[in-house]
């Protein structure tokens, strides 16, 4: 009887831990788009793309790529490098044999059959729609990628501050992160925003109530002006990582998708800590298991289940803490 009672108590405790460990996504009481604290400026990229409103002019901390460009980059890497980045063995095989490329290609032809008004609400421009309506079905993925009809994903991680508070004997490391799609991606499944850092930092919610939360914008696929918003606390995993795993159209129903997300992560550690680093990755799921942060941990963490992993070219880093 004691063993049976102990078993049920263990299950109850496990259930409690499971429910409290993962943050709940909620809609704000006053719906509004989250404003990223930044100095307005424009940063130009190749492909004539421009992003407005980010804090740093270093383009390596901001990156925009579509799924084909990600596949090209992945194809050029060794299996060991892809495994290190979080790609699974099955996904690597599908990258090598062209399965993923063909899936993306077919999805474009399928979407091209939609009425022009629906394509417009999904984020396509008039010229992109005109091109899609002229497709013959013989175009290669390389051809399609040059015409702007593959969804681009913008990702960034930017430095905010790195300070040491003498009275508290604590170091604080604060960074912005985020992503945004220029149009609705072809797959809206379970994606994940992941963060990794070095040393023994942990997210610190005491500095600001808006820190360590991801603010997401959902857009109606049939009416782009219809936007809704959610807030979700990031979930800290073991060994210097945190994630926000989410259903791309689960919170407000299948008519909506997550167009963008952003947040400010605040980390703290006892003592004076120099040489700090932070990495941000956005994992997009096309047909595999749900994306989640995986081993190896820290700045070089991977993302399991991601067919495409979007990330800035460089991590955020700072050498010496400012003493306050």
Largest CA distance in the chain: 73
- Is residue 179 a part of any domain in this protein? yes
Which tokens is 130 given?
């005109």
Element holding 28 (H helix, E strand): none
Question: How far, in Å, CA of 67 to CA of 240, rounded?
Answer: 28
pLDDT of residue 35: 45
- Is residue 198 a part of any domain in this protein? yes
- Is residue 66 a part of any domain in this protein? yes
**Which phi and psi (to 5°) does residue 2 adopt?**
-65, -40
pLDDT of residue 32: 55
Which tokens is 72 given?
């090209």
- Is residue 155 a part of any domain in this protein? yes
- Is residue 126 a part of any domain in this protein? no
Question: How far, in Å, CA of 305 to CA of 263, rounded?
Answer: 23
- Strand 152-165, strand 322-323: pairing: parallel
- Is residue 312 a part of any domain in this protein? yes
Residues contacting 45, CB < 8 A, separation 6+: 51, 59, 62, 64
Question: How far, in Å, CA of 79 to CA of 96, rounded?
Answer: 10
- Is residue 90 a part of any domain in this protein? yes
- The pLDDT tens digits along the chain (324 residues) read 433 334 333 333 333 333 334 568 887 655 555 544 332 233 333 333 333 333 333 445 777 788 788 788 889 999 998 887 777 788 889 999 999 889 889 989 999 999 999 999 999 999 999 999 999 999 998 888 888 888 889 899 999 999 999 999 999 999 999 999 999 998 888 999 999 999 999 999 999 999 999 999 999 999 999 999 999 999 999 789 999 999 998 889 999 999 999 999 999 999 999 999 999 999 998 777 789 998 888 998 988 888 888 899 889 999 999 999
Q: Provide the domain limits for residue 176.
A: 44-102+149-323
Q: CA separation (Å) from 130 to 76, 115, 149, 150?
A: 33, 11, 11, 14
The DSSP code for 56 is -
296 upstream amide cis, omega within 30 of 0 = yes
- Is residue 224 a part of any domain in this protein? yes
How many structural domains compose the chain?
Answer: 1
Instruction: Answer yes or no: are the C-beta atoms of 241 and 199 closer than 8 Å.
Output: no
């Amino acid at each position: 009887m004691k063993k049976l009672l102990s078993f049920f108590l263990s299950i109850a405790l496990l259930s409690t831990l499971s429910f409290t460990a993962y943050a709940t996504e909620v809609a704000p009481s006053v719906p509004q788009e989250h404003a990223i604290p930044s100095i307005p400026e424009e940063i130009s990229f190749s492909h004539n793309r421009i992003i407005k409103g980010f804090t740093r002019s270093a383009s390596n901390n901001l990156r925009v790529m579509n799924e084909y460009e990600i596949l090209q980059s992945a194809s050029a890497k060794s299996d060991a490098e892809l495994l290190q980045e979080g790609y699974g063995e099955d996904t690597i095989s599908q990258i090598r044999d062209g399965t993923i490329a063909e899936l993306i290609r077919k999805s474009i032809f399928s979407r091209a059959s939609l009425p022009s008004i629906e394509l417009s609400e999904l984020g396509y421009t008039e010229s992109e729609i005109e091109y899609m309506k002229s497709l013959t079905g013989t175009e290669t993925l390389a051809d399609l990628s040059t015409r702007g009809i593959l969804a681009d994903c913008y990702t960034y991680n930017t430095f905010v501050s790195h300070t040491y508070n003498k009275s508290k004997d604590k170091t604080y490391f604060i960074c912005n992160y985020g992503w945004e799609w220029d149009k609705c991606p072809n797959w809206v499944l379970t994606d994940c925003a992941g963060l990794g850092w070095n040393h023994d930092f942990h997210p610190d919610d005491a500095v600001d109530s808006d820190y360590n939360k991801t603010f997401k914008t959902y857009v109606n696929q049939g009416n782009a002006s219809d936007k809704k918003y959610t807030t979700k606390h990031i979930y800290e995993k073991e060994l210097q990582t945190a994630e926000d795993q989410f259903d791309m159209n689960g919170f407000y129903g299948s008519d909506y998708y997550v167009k963008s997300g952003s947040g400010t992560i605040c980390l703290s550690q006892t003592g004076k800590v120099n040489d700090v680093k932070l990495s941000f990755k956005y994992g997009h799921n096309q047909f595999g298991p749900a994306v989640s942060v995986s081993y190896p941990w820290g700045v070089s963490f991977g993302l399991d289940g991601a067919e495409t992993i979007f990330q800035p070219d460089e991590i955020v880093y700072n050498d010496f803490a400012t003493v306050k």
